C-alpha cells in the first residue's frame, strides 16, 4: 500500500539513487585523479540522501520493506525518478551538465523542504542542502570552465545541452504525489531558471529555446536506459537473493 507520502519519498530517493549510480560509473575513469574523487564524493553524498529517504519510506511501509529491498527489488516501472537522472553519462561535459541541471533543481527544492511540516523530511533536506550547495558550486564551475573553454569543449557542451534540455521540463511538472511537498512548482522553476540562465551566460552557452519536453519518469515510465542501469545495480541481489557481504 503506497500512500502519497511513501511514493513521494521513493521519488526523492530514486532521483538521488539513480544519479548516484550514474556518477559512480565514472569511478576509476575520471579525467584526472582529483576530479574522479570529486565526482565519486558527490555520488556518495547522493547515495546518503537516498538512504535517508528510503529508510523513512521503509519505516512507514512496515511490511518488511527495507532500504535494501527498495533499492534492489523494485522493477523499472516501480521507480519514480525523473528522466534527467537516468540519462547516460556521455562525455565528461554531459555528466557535469546533468549534475548541474539537477543540483540547480535540488537546491531550491531542499531549501523549501527544510521547513516542511514533516520533521523527518525537514531534517533530511536540511542535512542534504549543505551537500547540494557544494555540488551546485562544483558543477557550475565546470559548466563555465567547459562552456567558456576551448572551441571543442564549447561545442561539446552545446551538444550536451541539446541532449539533456528536453528532460528538464519534467522537473516542474508535478506528479500527484508531489502535493506532499507543498511547493509551488512555478516558484521552483523560476529559481532554477534564474540560476541556469546566469551560469549558462557566464559559460557563453545559449539558453535553449522552447522545445518538446519529455516526461513519464515520475509515473514510472522510463527511457530504455534505466533498464540497463537497474540490471547492473540489482544484479547481485537478483542472482543471489538475500546475499550479504
Residues that bind another protein (CB under 8 A): 29, 31-35, 37-38, 41, 134, 137-138, 141, 145, 149-150, 153
The CB-of-41 to another protein minimum distance in angstroms stands at 5
The smaller minimum CB distance to another protein, of residues 45 and 170, is found at 45
The smaller minimum CB distance to another protein, of residues 35 and 234, is found at 35
Question: What does the alpha-carbon distance between residue 115 and residue 162 come to, in Å, rounded to a whole number?
Answer: 35
The CB-of-146 to another protein minimum distance in angstroms stands at 9
The smaller minimum CB distance to another protein, of residues 64 and 151, is found at 151
The smaller minimum CB distance to another protein, of residues 93 and 217, is found at 93
Residue 148, all three cell numbers = 567558456
The smaller minimum CB distance to another protein, of residues 39 and 82, is found at 39
User: Phi, psi (5° rounding) for residue 209?
Assistant: -85, -170
Question: Which residue pairs from 198-204 have beta carbons closer than 8 angstroms and sit at least 24 positions apart in sequence?
Answer: 199/100, 199/104, 199/140, 199/143, 199/144, 200/143, 200/147, 200/161, 202/144, 202/147, 202/148, 203/143, 203/144, 203/146, 203/147, 203/148, 203/157, 204/147, 204/148, 204/154
The smaller minimum CB distance to another protein, of residues 93 and 220, is found at 93
The CB-of-19 to another protein minimum distance in angstroms stands at 17
CB 18 within 8 A of CB 85: yes
Question: What does the alpha-carbon distance between residue 123 and residue 116 come to, in Å, rounded to a whole number?
Answer: 9
The CB-of-149 to another protein minimum distance in angstroms stands at 6
The smaller minimum CB distance to another protein, of residues 83 and 146, is found at 146
The CB-of-53 to another protein minimum distance in angstroms stands at 23
- By CB atoms closer than 10 A (0-12, 13-18, 19+), residue 41 is middle
The CB-of-135 to another protein minimum distance in angstroms stands at 11
CB 169 within 8 A of CB 214: yes
Distance of CA 65 to the CA centre of its chain: 23
The CB-of-156 to another protein minimum distance in angstroms stands at 12
Query: Cα-atom radius of gyration of the chain, to the nearest Å?
Result: 17
Question: What does the alpha-carbon distance between residue 154 and residue 204 come to, in Å, rounded to a whole number?
Answer: 8
Distance of CA 86 to the CA centre of its chain: 8
Amino acid at each position: 500500500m503506497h500512500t502519497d507520502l511513501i511514493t513521494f519519498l521513493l521519488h526523492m530517493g530514486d532521483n538521488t539513487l539513480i544519479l548516484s549510480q550514474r556518477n559512480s560509473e565514472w569511478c576509476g575513469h575520471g579525467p584526472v585523479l582529483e576530479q574522479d574523487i570529486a565526482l565519486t564524493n558527490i555520488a556518495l553524498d547522493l547515495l546518503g540522501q537516498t538512504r535517508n529517504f528510503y529508510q523513512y519510506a521503509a519505516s512507514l511501509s512496515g511490511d518488511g520493506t527495507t532500504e535494501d529491498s527498495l533499492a534492489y527489488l523494485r522493477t523499472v516501472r516501480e521507480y519514480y525518478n525523473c528522466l534527467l537522472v537516468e540519462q547516460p553519462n556521455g562525455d565528461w561535459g554531459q555528466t557535469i551538465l546533468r549534475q548541474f541541471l539537477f543540483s540547480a533543481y535540488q537546491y531550491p527544492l531542499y531549501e523549501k523542504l527544510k521547513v516542511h511540516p514533516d520533521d523527518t523530511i525537514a531534517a533530511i533536506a536540511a542535512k542534504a542542502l549543505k551537500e547540494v550547495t557544494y555540488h551546485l558550486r562544483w558543477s557550475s564551475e565546470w559548466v563555465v570552465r567547459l562552456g567558456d573553454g576551448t572551441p571543442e569543449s564549447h561545442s561539446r557542451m552545446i551538444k550536451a545541452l541539446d541532449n539533456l534540455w528536453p528532460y528538464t521540463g519534467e522537473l516542474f511538472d508535478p506528479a500527484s504525489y508531489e502535493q506532499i511537498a507543498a511547493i509551488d512548482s512555478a516558484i521552483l522553476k523560476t529559481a532554477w531558471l534564474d540560476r541556469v540562465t546566469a551560469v549558462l551566460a557566464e559559460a557563453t552557452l545559449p539558453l535553449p529555446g522552447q522545445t518538446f519536453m519529455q516526461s513519464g519518469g515520475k509515473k514510472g515510465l522510463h527511457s530504455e536506459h534505466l533498464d540497463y542501469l537497474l540490471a547492473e545495480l540489482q544484479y547481485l541481489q537478483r542472482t543471489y537473493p538475500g546475499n550479504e557481504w
